[in-house]
Amino acid sequence: VFLYLLSALLKFCFRPLMSTLADCPGFFLDETPPVIPNILEGGNILDQNRYKVICQTFENKRRFLTLYDTTNKIPVFSAYRFTGAAETGRPKDRDIWKIEPQALNSDYVNNQGYNRGHLYPNCHAQDWNDKLSTFTLTNVVPQSIPFNSGSWAQMERCTKCFMENNCINANGRIEAFVVAGAEPGETKLNNKVSIPSRMWSAFCCYNSRDGVWLSKAYWGHNQPNMCDLDERSLQGMQMEMLVENHLHHFLHQRPPSLLLQVKHLFQQCLGQLYWLHHKHPILSQQPMRRPCLPHL
């Protein structure tokens, strides 16, 4: 009985560590990861002793990828391929969090107004096993409870709606590439886990119906009163400049009709949740596949 329970536990919790991001393919557009200065540049992890690639595996299937910071005990980012979310509902939190050598349940005791904020949200998962795979402590950060359940949750729902309706690949299937991450702060939860100062997310996809690329990035301060994500939160991050430099080819030849359609969709979904670049997506009619996730 003990051996059976042990084997079941290992199957449930196994998270293989990889040497490079290339060892866990399928979660970046063109296998091109974002650029994060001093951490990840040119696809290379600069400090491999501190930052670990986790190929998040559940039921013998690779579900998503995480770059994990062993010093701050939070993920730098999680990357996943969105293919629609057919399953509805959320697994109950009790007893579904996975045991990890990198992060422990005890790290989140006495949460001080923070709970476990997913980077890869379970509401973006395609099926029930994908949902369960997101409940690992290497995919979460201490997130302000009002922020997590408020504007951030609203953004996750509206992004899901947008991608399901607009991210249709050449085979007629839903497909988008998403990367979500956190910037470490100066305070720690229980003197162990870094509480992020900011959280960010970005996606890129191709809309085969209209022959355009769609890309969007968004972020917000990890604070209880973070009701809106607006452009003022970019100050100090140099995010707008870096995204603009990396995506300049997407800023030309934007079809006005499609632009209005997309703006209207987000206005319906988001209310007062503001987005990058004058609150509309960055669009391109470039026929070539190009990486379009931002430098951070």
CA–CA separation, 32 vs 139, rounded Å? 20
* pLDDT of residue 252 exceeding 60: no
> What is the dihedral sign for C-alpha 52, 56, 59, 60?
negative
CA–CA separation, 140 vs 182, rounded Å? 9
Q: Is 247 exposed, middle or buried (0-12, 13-18, 19+ CB in 10 A)?
A: buried
Quote the crossing angle between the two packed helices 256-270 and 151-166, to the nearest 10°: 140
CB-based contact 122:116 (threshold 8 Å): no
Q: What pLDDT is recorded for position 218?
A: 78
Phi, psi angle pair for 99, to nearest 5° = -70, 135
Q: What pLDDT is recorded for position 236?
A: 35
Q: What is the mean pLDDT of residues 264-284?
A: 39
Q: What pLDDT is recorded for position 125?
A: 95
User: Where do the domains of the chain lie, and which CATH numbers do they carry?
Assistant: 2-284 (3.40.570)
* pLDDT of residue 137 exceeding 70: yes
* pLDDT of residue 66 exceeding 70: yes
CA–CA separation, 269 vs 263, rounded Å? 10
Q: What is the mean pLDDT of residues 38-57?
A: 94
Percent of the chain with pLDDT over 90: 42
Q: What is the mean pLDDT of residues 21-36?
A: 91
Q: Which of 53-67, 117-131, 213-227, 228-242 has the lowest mean pLDDT?
A: 228-242
Q: What pLDDT is recorded for position 49?
A: 95
* pLDDT of residue 83 exceeding 90: yes
Q: Which of 59, 81, 71, 78 is nearest to 12 (CA)?
A: 59
| pLDDT tens-place string over residues 183-235 | 999 999 988 999 999 998 888 888 999 888 887 777 788 988 765 554 333 33
* Torsion (CA) 208, 209, 211, 214 in degrees, nearest 10: -70
Q: Which of 45-49, 110-114, 132-136, 249-253 has the lowest mean pLDDT?
A: 249-253
Q: Which of 289, 120, 109, 119 is nearest to 215 (CA)?
A: 289
Of 267 and 286, the one with more pLDDT: 267
Of 105 and 289, the one with more pLDDT: 105
Q: What is the mean pLDDT of residues 48-55?
A: 96
Q: What pLDDT is recorded for position 228?
A: 57
* pLDDT of residue 256 exceeding 60: no
CA–CA separation, 74 vs 46, rounded Å? 17
Residue for token pair 């070539």: 288
Give the helix/strand (H/E) hosting 212. Answer: strand 212-221
SS3 162: helix
Q: What pLDDT is recorded for position 213?
A: 83
SS3 190: coil
**Maximal CA-CA distance, the chain:** 65
